[in-house]
Structure 1
Amino acid sequence: MTTASVLPPPPPTPASAEPAPAAGADQPLAARVRIVSPGRIAGAVAHLAALGVIGPGVLGAVFGLFGAGVGLLAALLIGVTALVALVYVLFAIAWFERVRLDGLYGLGLPVLRPRRSARPGFVGVLHTIWLQAIDPGQWRAVASFTIATILGVSTLGVVGFTAWGLAVTVSPLFGWSDINLLGLLPLYGIAAPLVGLLVFVASLAAMVGLAVLHGLISRAILVPSREVQLEEQARASDTRRAGAVRAAEVERTRIERDLHDGVQPRLVSIGMTLGLAQTKIDDDPEAAKALVAEAHASTKSAITELRQLARGIHASVLDDRGLDAALSALASRSHIPVTLDVRLPYRCSRPAEAAVYFVIAEALTNAAKHSRATGCRVHVRLRDDATLWARVEDDGLGGARIVPGGGLDGIVNRVTAAGGTARIDSPQGGPTTVEASIPCAS
């Protein structure tokens, strides 16, 4: 299996969405999120109380799985299976924690996705597990879940004090007289409701404090600082620039090869045929006519090749009628049958559509030339995160590899330049699958 990917920029806003307000637009999203608001404090208290109930059980299961894995390493299969399961249990906890916090505070956290290795075979499986085990984003989310669980257990205790304080405050209404503070100090007369009110107010304040602390700690752990965001943007920009340069180089090489190996020899042949016909016009008019007819046919073939070459550089139908129509025209010209499934509620930016068109065109060309496929399936979707996703799958022999300057290398570089991710899966025996995800506004 061959896999290539790059980190995309943050998902863009769909064209139909309202523009963000200008105020504070230069600040990171987390800096504009209000942690201290009545609704979010109430939500945080509810979250903490729930985590105080289920969190200890979840963490206990994690430590139990770790102990089982380490203790049973002598029984290799059982111990290793338990440790691998532990890695993905931690991933599930991290995924839940990020979704929970994003829903509570609206931090704009991307959904945590499993890590994948670019290496093929069993070594790739082991490398994938190792990458997942050391994923810093996963461990930050697990740390946030652990801290939230501790705060949740504390919140449950504070809720108990709040209920006790409220009950003691209203105790004179029900004629309660046997009241003790912490079971030690008896309270008589007016002291009982006063102490109860004090405990009730202090417990509410502690509850609010725990909720605010939870929001601040969670944001500090999971939301990168402004400097880290700028570094990530610079790294993504460098990656996209390198991909664009490489894609342009590969495309230029392809054009030169097509011209040198295809159109140029045909034009030279046309010139020689016409020259030969010129020498025979007087002596053998019939032979001259035949040579002119041959040159005319070759000229039409050369024009067709030039049109195909120009279409590979720029598909005018893509600008005029959109990606769906352009892919339909592409499928109609394919040498193998193509099943198209394109569902796009609205058009994306031209760079995104052009990149997806190039990916599909190159994948179909490779399938026709090398895979001995009898059919291809193409799926194109616009996902909820405003990502243009495409998948091409053939039923060929598989075994495709990324070679510098080759078609698959061009796909990876073109997708990288558009700020997206590409995945190429081609085991021996097939099928070959090419997937690309590109931000719609890239």
Structure 2
Amino acid sequence: MRLSPAQAIVGGFGGANGVGAVLLWLPISRSDGTFTDPVDAIFTATSALCVTGLTVVDTAVHWSPFGLAVILALIQMGGLGIMLLAALVGLLLARKLSLASRLNTMTEAKSTGGYSVKRVATGILFTSLTIEAVTAVALFFRFLLGYGYSPGEAAWNAVFHAISSFNNAGFALFSDNMIGFVADPWICLPMCAAIILGGLGFPVLVQLRRELKTPLHWTMNTRIVVTGTLVLLLMGTAYITAIEWNNPSTLGSADPATRVLAGFFHAVQVRTAGFNSIDIGQMHDETLLGMDVLMFIGGGPAGTAGGIKITTFAVLLFIVWTELRGGTAVNVFGKRLSRAVHREAISVALISIAAVMGGTIAILASTDFDLDAVLFEAVSAFATVGLSTGITPQLDAGAKLILVALMFLGRIGPLTLGSALALRDRRVAYELPKERPAIG
């Protein structure tokens, strides 16, 4: 079969997800040596491969060392990308790639700079492993010296949380996630740094690694992602910290420095990481709604982040701004946007809204939970964030499978999945006459 790049990406993620679910279902993956519920195994495999972090069982208690290793492998595979890993294996074994493999890899990495597949793949791998290693070293010494862990325990916790952080997965080896470290900047800040870097996206990371000191050479994509990330982090920190400042169930009982640290930590998490150092279920409704918006926007494209992506959101903003000013062309950082980009951004946004709303309505129809909590879980699943108000483990099998579908759609991307499901590409040899309806 000749698969299109979109079909290859969807098939690759689907196949890896199936293998991961089977491995997690087996008794060897569970700490008590029994089979895991099939739906829970599918949910956990999808959450790990789609670097989401939503859980239906206690990660620290339910899984055996083998099960945790499977989860960690799925996180790394999902973060790097199935097609990218396939390209790396091909380069290692055969030292060459077929044209189909090159197209699949370039599509997944969203590379438009004309770089060779080998250069893109090796650059992404080097950047990923470097950031993960540096983060692991910082966490290792903190676990070892600050908490009295043995060298083995400190190393395992450091490596697991470093990989989970950079890949924006949100899986933790503690039953309360990271609540026990809410006041520890030596744990929270290295993880935040890894999450932010992973959320920038591989195209941005590769360019920053090569041209960090020459911002004038940055592409429009890099400029939008870097600027948008800084703005959203500042706004998110101020918003969460201000609203939760006096909430005794979250930040209100902590000292001012801890409140600011926790506010910043969660502003980073809503960028699609999913760790939490305070109880999300105790947050004010207005905080949850604001976090819904930040999660939906997400991080940079072609990386470990989810959401509709900063670039999509920025393009929509520039389109609106141009329309309000009466302009005819959408200009961004001295460059004109193609009209095809307008259509792509609008399509991604509308399909994503429809998916989240459809999932929310379906879960509401089958459960007794409030809208605030259900909407938060649905957005968190679609945006591959992993933050939860605590209701996910209590959902029935049908509701869990809805979240599985949202996670898969969010990781693959609406347009990629739509292209994969299309029966064929159809070229139209004619255009219909134009007519303009009334708008607004």
TM normalised by structure 1 equals 0.23
Rg larger in structure:
1
Query: As a proportion of its length, which structure holds more strand?
Result: 1
